[in-house]
Structure 1
Amino acid sequence: MLKLFKLLGNKRLFVILIALVMFIALMGFTLGPRATLSWPEKFLRDTVGFAQNIFYKPAGYVAGLFKDIGNMRETYKENEQLKIALAQYTREKANYNFIEKQNKELMEDLKFTKQQEGKFDYSYHIAQVISVNADTVNKTLVIDLGERDGVKIGQSVISIKGMVGVISHVSNFTSTVKLITTMDAKDPNSNGIAATSMDNHQTFGIVESYDEATQMLLMTQIKQEDPIKAGDMIVSLGDTDKYPRGLIIGKVKSVQESKFGKTKTATIEPEAEFQDWKQLFVVFTPEAPK
């Protein structure tokens, strides 16, 4: 029995000695200068790398997800700010365009009034069109000048290009304008306009009706020997208070003999545009003081 224990003890010591030698050999092998790793080192590194890959990838994904959420919030805030800035820019651009256009129109209007004021001692009040009545029988429009501004029934209303109509009704703050396109020689309440030619003051006639089909004014009672011709610019003669002298009516398109051959009739294209009104003018004369 004692010999057995000695034998086993010697074997255990032998195994420990062999393990120690192998460990020293392995240490020497790994610590030496080498170009490649040993298979135990490779196995160990691969094992550690695989474990790191398992734990680090999900962790990196979660961290990236929270970062992306934060970036999305910042992007959303910036997007909202850009939308607000864009809306403000759009409003300011629209206001700028409106003011620029209005300023240009007023500059043109001012130039017009300066030219006209010194011509016949008239004054002109700018009026804005409030509403338009497109009724075929009673075409009228409403402007934002009234009694408080000195407007009276019968005053002429013009645009920069030509005559538009006359004031037919007046209230404190607004006035109604009856358009010259409603003129009808058969209507006893429709007053004709005594007119002449800017090119030849020997011309005389009465603009008293409007042809809806041709959209032309008709000038009648023109004498046979009258020198009126196509292309003449027709203006008011100014023999009544309602239509002051020198207001542009339109241009002669054609001249034809009347039915009985004693007078001539001229077809006149109105200079004023009877749509898309912006600013109009109420004409104040010395006979119709403010």
Structure 2
Amino acid sequence: MFRLLGNKKLLTLLLALMVFIALMGLTLSRRSEMTWPERVIKDTVAWTQGWLYKPARYAAGFFRDVEDLKNTYKENKQLKKTLTHYAQDTMRLNMLEAQNKHLQEILGFTERQKNADNYQYMVAEVVSVSPDPYSNTVNINLGSLDGIKENMAVMSVEGLIGRVSRVSNFTSSVQLLVDMNAESGGSAERQLEKGISATVLGKEDLVFGTIDYYSNEEQGLVMTRIDQRSEMKLEPGDVVVTSGLGQIFPKGLVIGVVSEKRVGDFGINYLATVKPKATDFRHLREVLVVKVPEVE
């Protein structure tokens, strides 16, 4: 009996080995189609892998997007800083270029004037503008310690702008031409010492007159006391300069250009409107104080 049971175990083992070898042969053989067990196992494994892979892929993509967003934020922040520095540098460069250009114009002006007269031009910076809307004055950073005196003529590169009205040790006040008001009642200070004696460049022996006041209506200086002989030679476009006959302004300083001429109120003398060469009186940056050499 025990011998029969032992033979059955051996027979079962042999049958299992034969089935295993047969399955291996079927699996390893070249076949165009898989068996149904293989298909079931393959589909089950693929579905399980896909079900596990999608959440993992979404999680990995989410963390990657968060990291990319952090990097983008850092890059944008750095880019904004760079753009801010670039804008500041560009603004500073533009200001330096404008200042350099203006200083070159002043230098060219002083070099030209050396050949025209014997005046000394002291470059001053405008440090403030009078807050009083009825007082057209500016303050400059030169004073008595720099050799500035009252009634010195003050110019821009374009032309005459006014005179020094008050002087302290380190600063001075400049009364502008637009402060010459016809309604000032003849005040010596408001009238720039009763007008500016003027003539026309190239016609110094033919045309004479006086710059009396600034007309807000005409946006120009009014030249009066022009006699008939001078009126015949005066034409629009002529350049008006100081004649040097007054007590303040030396001769040859450009005042402006004649825009029109007309008969005076009583038909005896003539008037002319002179557009100042220096038109932007409210935005002056640097000015030139004219120093006339003293006669020994």
The change in CA–CA distance for 1:137 and 1:65 in structure 2 (over 3 A counts) is closer
What letter corresponds to residue 33 of structure 1 in structure 2?
A: R
What letter corresponds to residue 276 of structure 1 in structure 2?
A: H
Q: Secondary structure at the match of 2:284?
A: coil
Is 1:221 matched up with 2:225? yes
Q: Secondary structure at the match of 2:214?
A: strand
- Structure 1 residue 239: deviation in Å? 2.3
- Structure 1 residue 272: deviation in Å? 1.4
Pick from 200, 203, 208 the counterpart of residue 204 of structure 1: 208
**1:168-207 to 2 correspondences below 5 Å:** 168-184=165-181, 186-189=185-188, 190=191, 191=193, 192-201=195-204, 202-207=206-211
d(CA) in 1 for partners of 2:214 and 2:251? Answer: 21
What letter corresponds to residue 252 of structure 1 in structure 2?
A: V
- Structure 1 residue 254: deviation in Å? 2.5
- Structure 1 residue 75: deviation in Å? 3.1
- Structure 1 residue 79: deviation in Å? 2.7
Check the 8 A contact 1:241/1:287 in 2, yes or no: no
- Structure 1 residue 16: deviation in Å? 6.9
- Structure 1 residue 258: deviation in Å? 2.6
d(CA) in 2 for partners of 1:254 and 1:25? Answer: 123
Return 5+ residue gaps in structure 1 as ranges. none
Using the size of structure 2 for normalisation, the TM-score is 0.84
Using the size of structure 1 for normalisation, the TM-score is 0.86
Would you say how many aligned residue pairs link Structure 1 and Structure 2?
Answer: 285
The change in CA–CA distance for 1:259 and 1:93 in structure 2 (over 3 A counts) is closer
Q: State the partner residue of 1:44.
A: 41
- Structure 1 residue 14: deviation in Å? 8.0
User: 148-157 or 133-142: which moved more?
Assistant: 133-142
Identity %: 41
Return 5+ residue gaps in structure 2 as ranges. none
CA deviation string 1:208-228 (max 9, x = no partner) = 112111112122222222232
**1:135-150 to 2 correspondences below 5 Å:** 135=132, 137-150=134-147
The change in CA–CA distance for 1:28 and 1:256 in structure 2 (over 3 A counts) is closer
d(CA) in 2 for partners of 1:171 and 1:109? Answer: 25
Pick from 81, 86, 93 the counterpart of residue 84 of structure 1: 81
What letter corresponds to residue 98 of structure 2 in structure 1?
A: K
Is 1:65 matched up with 2:72? no
